[in-house]
Structure 1
Amino acid sequence: MKVLTGLDILVNDSEIQKSFKGNIGLLCNNASVDATFSHAILKFKKIFDSRFIKVFGPQHGFSTDAQDNMIETDHCIHPYFNIPIYSLYSETRTPTDKMLEDIDHLFVDLQDIGCRTYTYIYTLTLLLEKCANKNIEIIVLDRPNPINGVDIEGNILEKEFKSFIGLYPIPMRHGMTIGEVAIMHQTFWSKEKANLKVIKMQHWKRAMYFEDTKLPWILPSPNLARAESTCTFPTTVLFEGTNLSEGRGTTQPLEIFGHPNIEPYSYFENNLKQALKESKLKGFTVRPITFIPTFHKQYNKICGGFQIHITDKKTFQPWRAGQFIMKEIYHYLGSDFTWKTPPYEYNYTQLPIDILNGTDKLRYWIENNGNIETLDSFEDLKDYKLKFNEIKLY
């Protein structure tokens, strides 16, 4: 049965619509569409008419056309809708008092991808914190976790490595929907509580991947054109912290990675294939490729590398795969492999790989050529799972 998102529920229930009597704001982007591919703004204009007064956009902008790290978007008046659009990835990541003026109900309709380093959940939690002392109701229109709501993987972020790609002690693959993130924030992380409401989905089951929902996939950020890419994201996003390309500037970003000094076939046949076999990691294979990024890292250079092909989503562990492959390539490339230097996501002091990982211990594990059994010791998920089970909506 087709999943109905929070937006679908709102659009099709006039009684729910009538419960919101004041002025309306909406935090959304390109992927904020209903089951008929109609954008949320079109629906809000029809439902709330002149009471719909402001729009907010997250990282990558309302139009989802700005690239990755620290590429800010401007505030504007939309030329068609004729309402202000405020960027929450600009000179500020938190809405100002002026931006929030005259709003009574602020809806949030963003497609998260289930990974700690994806910033939309932090745009939401900063909004909740800002509105804790205001008479503004925050309504999250829930959407699926595209990599399922059961599997949890990765180390817990350490507080000294907090950043805009990791504000709270959660694992890389957190298992929550964006509505559940809001509840987790209000239950465990926020000192002051906002007026929060979550409009739940219907027919969503925790074991679903995005293709199981029968919903349309609209890219939520410029380099996630396919739902399949969300499954490899927890693997390949780690390469943002290195001089390797993670495929930005190609037609398969965040599914491929590489470097000009990798000869992919010889490296695969003579080294990587056996290392992956011995690791006993399952559910995927890597295929040697060459590619040329048209922008971003390694621009216009022929890169040798690999595409990750998932053969069994149920056994694929993307965080483990990413850490292990990075370790192997670090030692294969030697001095040609470098860690990216700051700034990264408004952090001007710590190495990007450390804030991506939420710890420096994994970098040391890579540099010291640690084994796969030691990697397992970085996961301590008991406390997180207790909290997770307390806030689950589905």
Structure 2
Amino acid sequence: MSSKRVLRRHLCFVLLVLLGGQSARAADLDKTKLAEIDAAVAGAIKRGECPGAVVAVVHADAVVYRKAFGNRSVKPDEAVMTPDAVFDMASLTKPVATGTSVMLLVQQGKLKPEDLVSKHWPEFAANGKDKVTVEHLLLHTSGLIADNDIRDYADGRAKALERVAGLKLEAPAGTRFKYSDVGFIVLGELVERLSGTPLDQFAKKNVFEPLKMTDSGYSPAAALKARVAPTGPRDGGIILGAVHDPRAFKMGGVAGHAGLFSTADDMVRYCRMLLRDGELDGVRVLDAKTVKLFTEPHDVPVADKAPKGLKGSRSFGWDVDTSFSAPRGDRFKKGEGYGHTGFTGTSVWVDPRSKTAIIILTNRVHPSDKGNASPLRREVANIVAAAVGEKK
């Protein structure tokens, strides 16, 4: 037998093994167990934790669950939730828009995680911030305050950024983990400075359009507003189609920490891209090594002076294992996956080990800025983990 025929047979065998393995993973899915998500969401709605929700589950590169529940709107008028509802993603903006954009700049050689922020934004060095790096911002270990005074945003975007650059640190860089909107506002500004393009436009051109995330972006157009899930109260009315976060709102709707709108279907595409090491439908958005850099865990100190062993875990824009890990539930293995939540009631959890992603989109802040998505996140994660064979 010729060497070429041997090679062809060997390649065919490898392909069959790979395809067989993928089929086996899909076959292991307990779809009966997945059906328990229906009752979990119905219970959350009945308890008043959210008016409605859209839940999607990806497993072995396929959408194995996708369903809408309850109402998209209850005030001023009722409207039924639909699977294509557009949600204010709140802090999911941090990894999906800003974090991905930062990773693209790293991939392009324009930025390094170890870069001092002041290298690219000299004014930021003011008041002892000269040692803060891009990595510190991504891991929320910069020492910056969680949120500065809303009055700092009263005079427009440029003045707000000037005031952010003038802030003092609450703790030395690298000495504690404290979740910071301000840190991602800084990262959003770095994207614009290094790319020469505003964050919303950079993310649209380099992330959302290549991935065919057609309903994702900042400041949704009028054509999308008929599908937007309203959020909380503002100025005597209900917010619809404008960002809920007050600081992002004052910055014109575009900021590194909040402002993104998206749908469950678009988030499915984004998560599939990550699970496929940066490629989807023949289009590569991130290199495999960039996805690894983006998602691999780093220990972070959970207090200013953390006792030995008292650590949490974050990746460059994602939660891994901290007090923000409700979307992981109790069955997925700690340290193996990553995810994020949004204040409005949104969340994503990705578990590469089982090739699974869970997208839960609610507008729990509608209509009165109340509600609680955390119990639902945990319950759905546990159901999905059981369905894909994860043990407690």
TM-score strictly above 0.5: no
More helix by share: 2
